[in-house]
Chains A and B, each alone.
Chain A
Amino acid sequence: MKKPLLLLSFLITTCSAVYAQSYNEKAAEIQKTVWGNATPEFSLKQVPAKYANESAVILAQSYNIQRTSNLKFKFLIVTASIANRVTRVSTLHERVKINDKSALERYSTLEYQKKLDKSMSFLIAKINDVHNTYIGAKIIKPGGQETVVNTGEEVLLKNTGKDQKGKLAIPGLQVGDILDYYISNNDLSENAMEDSYKKNDQVYVLADEYPILNYSLYFQFNSKTSVYYIAANGAPKLEESTLPNGDLVYKLSKKEMPKYQSQKWVSVYRQYPYIEISSAAKSKMMSMGNPTAKAGGLTANKELFQTFFHEVNNPIDEEPKKIMKDYFDSRKNLKAAPLDSSMKILYDAWKLRLFGNFDKDDVDDLKALNYRTAKGTIATINMSRLLTDMDIVHEVLLVCSRNTSSLDNVFNFSDLDAVIRISNGNKPLYMCFDDAVTHFNEIPAKFQGEKAISLVPKRKSATKYVFDEMNTTIPMVSADKNHVEEKVEVSLLADMQKLKVQRLVKQTGYMRHDGQKNLLSAMDIDNGLMELVKGPPLAKRLSKNYETKKSADAFLGGMGKSQVEVRKSFMDEAQEQFGQEPVQISDYKVINPALENNKPVFEFSSTVILNNLVKKAGNNYIVDAGKLKGSFVQLDEKDRKRTRDIYMPAARSLTFTINLAIPQGYQAKGVEELNTKKANKTGSFTSSATVKGNVLSIIVSRVYAGNFEKAADWPLVTELVDAAFAFNNQKILLEK
């Protein structure tokens, strides 16, 4: 018995030793390549004086990716196949001067996936999928002494045969040192599903946490590779060339790259220059059955979008139409219904179909149900085919969210979104597929004002749709439609220290979505969606799916909110509004859930007791009146200068009516100071106050006129921000 064990043990030991040697040899080879072939910038030791106050300065940073793909013959059990073998070596090389302890902390540890083997074996066949990471580091002391770090001092946080995670604390590193390190990821994959533009997508934003003196990108692909890249938002084009062996090279070098600085109201993928690049095997054979594999850019993805109309490959989900028909009970009723009514029901039926159905995993986090969003492109394609079938004239609008890259910079299919515009005289109707509380004919803020491509589909056959195409723009929604109206009744408690604040809040459009998702339970929303179309009850829907049927009790029991959870939701909302945790909360309730677009105003109320807003002053009291409406944005000094345009979340408006009961025997002083008016083309801030009897009424209004402002208009925006913030600090005196 002992002999085989010994042999096995020997084999394991030998294999491990072979692997270790092989890994170490490869590591040495990579080290020689990275440091041996480094450009002169990686020898820099001096930092220009202007960077002396920076936490760290990157003297040189390079990303180098080399990819080779080749077709390999693979024997399977009774047949053979061609596999695409992709080898990819991606190396980040960075040389950084560390100027303070914060940067020392940032660079003192390297953590990496040392090895990951996801290869799959099928008897004699093996599909390789192996990842190895090699690291190297050297420290250059201020006196010039250079020490190569012994990477063997790493620890393995995970150490199974196929999965190793390494972590290295860089020894000897101190403030004032230069750290020159690299992380080289080596991948070998024969898994065709992992080889697509989507999976291999790399984005390089041309700004970093620290200033970069020398920056370079170098991508090399063999001739069997298909490459697509974009240079967005003013990023320079990559320099392209071909090596003697036919390899394609794309490169870029830049000097003095500024660091990224966070600002209010920006859209990173619209405003910062970046390079996005990806690759996939050129062979058509390798992308069969995976049409997205090499769809790069707007045109390719638009065409891809159109191919998804194919009814055989992508059968139509008829359920929304069925629900709509059931709702109207008869064909006659349906035909008699005005277009906006029938389309509303069809849209609401889609919502119930999507958000009223659940996955077995949903039960693990029922609180997340309210935050689910639809895949707009997929929903649009299905709805468009239903509408086509119903002879409803409509357009499909291809668009990008304002929070992601622009339409011009679409790279992958997932960058695209879509909505439907139904012809309806001069009042077109919109179907936008976003969250569960979006109404029929409501355009989400992320699409408002965006350029779009209009596609008018025509069905030629089940497998062929053709499209008329033109450019268009999705309309803006005015500030008054994205509105918060809050009525606040305020009185001092007997201790003359605390305030009782009774709130009635009404929210519309963009301004209601967060409130709905936070204050309503998943069950409230589900009930609402069901009632909109007289759909089947939740229990019935759950029972249609074997997996959800098993967990039906958990769904039914867990989608509601307990009293404690409801209280906490309202408490959180009040805390965010007033910037302090209320001493008490009571009488909190949702008055209108606004799931029905015929009752579109989300309405709730609560009563809170607030502390620290009243000051005693002799026999008098001072009330922080400006804080009774919650706090407005304040600007830091660094925010006052701006060169980037302003991406507001939406055009929006807020109105607060505050009625403060003046205690008997007191008079309000300082009322006139509460009157303010500032208005410009970017919006307005106004406040007015009057006393009638024993009630001081303050009306505050803030309007953000647009969802986008030019940087040149930033002073106009700051003028309003400052006016609103100044109001926040206004007080009134209750004089005895």
Chain B
Amino acid sequence: MIKTFTFCAIGILFVKIAFGNTADSVVTISSAIENYQFVYNTKTASVEIKQKLTTTYIANNFQASVPVVQGYNNHFTITNVECKVDGRIPWGFKPTYTYYGSDDIFYSDQKICYFPLIIPKKGGLGIVTFAETVDDPRYFTNIGFSESYVVNQKQIVVKVPRWMKVELKEYNFNGFNITKSTQYISGEDADVITFTIKNLPATKQESNSPGPTYLYPHLMVLCKSATVGGKTFTYFNTLDDQYKWYHSLIKSTIADQGAITAKAKELTGGQTNDIEKTKAIFYYVQDNIRYIAFEDGMAGFKPENADEVLRKKYGDCKGMANLTKALLTAAGYDARLCWLGTKHIAYDYQTPSLAVDNHMICALNYKGKTYFLDATESYLGFDEYAERIQGRQILIEDGEKYQLTKVPVALAGQNANAQISKLSITAGAITGTVNYVWKGEDKEEILTGINSIKREKTEDAMVRYLSGDNNDYKVTNLALSGTSNPDKDLTATYALTTKNGISLFGKTYYIDLDNTKEFINGAIKTDERRHDYWFSHRQNLTRNAELAIPQGYKVASLPAALKIVNPNYEFHVQYVPAGDKVTYKKSIIIKNTHLPKTGFAQWNADIEQLVKTYNDALTIKPISE
């Protein structure tokens, strides 16, 4: 789903993070100087950016090994690489140039230049210099400051001739020791902007954290236009310019209209309701087109022809969006292609740049409402939205113009993970029936899991999931609803026998009716965690377990109820006695997926309360006692 340009444009920022060795600091970057200069290439009659990046590593241990990696591609050329260790070029120094491989990307024209930098002596110095050229200012979108290692001092120097109109937008400077100075060089009629950074911490990869553009200080480079060599070049001066370029890439994206029309007819045949027709098309693409990220040159921006995606039965987000649009259009609906940046990216279209977006979906306008259709989300229903795109600004094609709007934020009820059980005590065990309902992204999670394993092992895997991989929680007669209808909730029903949640001492039962205990290990290690925590999606978990009290027994003690309500999340846990029954009710709602560091202390305190409640058992005694 991430287009090529994201990688190359933010190359410096991302590549180093991707390959960085953050586990222990074998080296420190004692100094780094990065020079960027806009120049006019008279031979190609184009503006280029010349870069020279010099990094000095000091070894903190003997035989310090640093994997030096620099990305490049068709627009980003490495013209020279130098390396010296303690003043000498290492014996046999030979960088490797190869394709960049990734599990997420089937093929990419992104390449990497890498070599191991080995500094034998503690305190030894390794100096690495890359000289690079970017051949089109549109692809020069970011300058990152952070590295995988602690940086003592770094200088970023950007020389901008006054014929070049560019804006350097500062991100995440707060809390870092960064100073800026500007100097005009009259001889070259250029401004030199220098950023000096001191004591910059190393980057750190953490699960569930915001994308790097939220975390690390960097410059967004907005190349607007240039007037040089008697010519004027307009890059992305405004969003109009960016759209114009995007629009030029989607003007011809169907080669065989006949194939598309025939398929649209086949899919909608027999349907009379418009929404049902559009669903039939959307679900067809979702279910039959495999997502494969293929990013080669302009293919990183231009969607594959819709008929080709239909023939191949695979495509990337652009191809899937294009096929969805083509089929809907062929069926007579108003469908458009849309560009957007997922939540991973900190920017929006106020800053026109190739770094703003990384995803394409399809919009359907029907009876005054816009439905956004993202067929890469294989198991989300029509008009349901994944957390990663909810609320994101979206650029919608509209002929020569564009529309700018936002993807709706899903209603609270879109996602659900609900368990209702009716239980009793039989021969010292808890027995009964349990029903589950999963909706939205919770449903998607389960279906993704089910479809990634072999059919004959589905039931086994589901039993393991439901039992928490505990053989004492015996699941029998499991009935899973059909998994092929995206409009329907996913449900499971099964019979349960477990001795795990019940203890008998004398004649007294001690009972635990919660077998899932979400967030029991949810406390955040504040001494280790550096970044905010982002939940994968909004959560709406409910548990309702009704236990029939055995004849001759009474509730002797009920665990204390828990109620934690704040704007970001809610925890409710309660045992409710009623007649000869007692019902365990739990509701956990994650309303805001972003938990900032400032909220960690409160979150941990609340989790402690939740865990305490989990570890409180219901007591049932004979009435006679």
Contact = CB atoms under 8 A, between A and B. Distances in A.
B520 interface: yes
A192 interface: no
B99 A54 contact: no
A167 B101 CA distance: 12
Interface in B56-78: 61-63, 65
Nearest to A159: B99
A565 B98 CA distance: 34
Interface stretch (B217-225, B247-255, B614-622): B614-622
Interface in A523-574: 550-551, 553-558, 564
Interface string A618-634: 11101000000000001
A472 interface: no
Interface stretch (B29-37, B339-347, B389-397, B505-513): B505-513
Interface in A649-687: 669-670
A497 interface: yes
Could you say which of A555, A617, A669, A725 has the most chain B C-beta atoms within 10 Å of its C-beta?
A617
Interface residues of A, number: 58
A171 B314 contact: yes
B171 to A, nearest CB: 33
Given A103-B454, A558-B62, A617-B557, A636 B471 contact: yes
B617 A55 contact: no
Contact of A616 (B101, B120, B460, B617): B617
A2 B13 CA distance: 42
A617 B452 contact: no
B318 to A, nearest CB: 16
Interface stretch (B288-296, B403-411, B486-494, B575-583): B288-296
A109 B455 CA distance: 20
A190 to B, nearest CB: 28
B245 interface: no
A157 interface: yes
Contact of B512 (A105, A550, A615): A615
Given A167-B107, A172-B311, A669-B506, A616 B559 contact: yes
A617 B510 CA distance: 7
Contacts of A733: 503, 505, 510
Contacts of B519: none
Contacts of A735: 505
A83 B456 CA distance: 53
B472 interface: yes
B107 A53 contact: no
B63 A554 contact: yes
B471 A725 contact: yes
Contacts of A172: 311-313
B451 A102 contact: yes
B616 A553 contact: no
Nearest to A139: B313
Given A169-B292, A636-B471, A729-B472, A55 B454 contact: yes
Interface residues of B, number: 53
Nearest to A611: B611
B313 A174 contact: yes
B454 A109 contact: no
Contacts of A670: 503, 505
B196 interface: no
B473 to A, nearest CB: 10
B50 to A, nearest CB: 27
A351 interface: no
B510 A155 contact: no
Contact of A554 (B62, B98, B294, B611): B62
A443 interface: no
Contacts of B506: 669
A601 interface: no
A553 B611 CA distance: 49
B446 to A, nearest CB: 14
Interface in A68-110: 99-105, 108-109
Interface in B98-133: 98-99, 101, 106-107, 120-122
Contacts of B122: 553, 557
Contacts of A551: 62-63, 120
A612 interface: yes
Given A171-B314, A617-B557, A109 B471 contact: no
A647 B120 CA distance: 46
B574 interface: no
Given A497-B615, A617-B619, A618-B556, 9 more contacts: A55-B455, A105-B290, A169-B314, A558-B63, A580-B521, A617-B510, A619-B557, A725-B471, A729-B500
Interface of B: 24, 61-63, 65, 98-99, 101, 106-107, 120-122, 288, 290, 292, 294, 296, 311-314, 451-457, 460, 470-472, 499-500, 503, 505-506, 510, 512, 520-521, 556-557, 559, 611-612, 614-619
19 contacts: A53-B455, A54-B455, A55-B454, A100-B455, A105-B290, A169-B312, A171-B314, A172-B313, A174-B313, A497-B612, A551-B62, A614-B615, A616-B615, A617-B557, A618-B556, A618-B619, A729-B499, A733-B503, A735-B505
In the complex, the 4 A-B pairs of residues with the closest C-beta atoms, listed nearest first: A554-B63, A55-B454, A618-B557, A554-B62
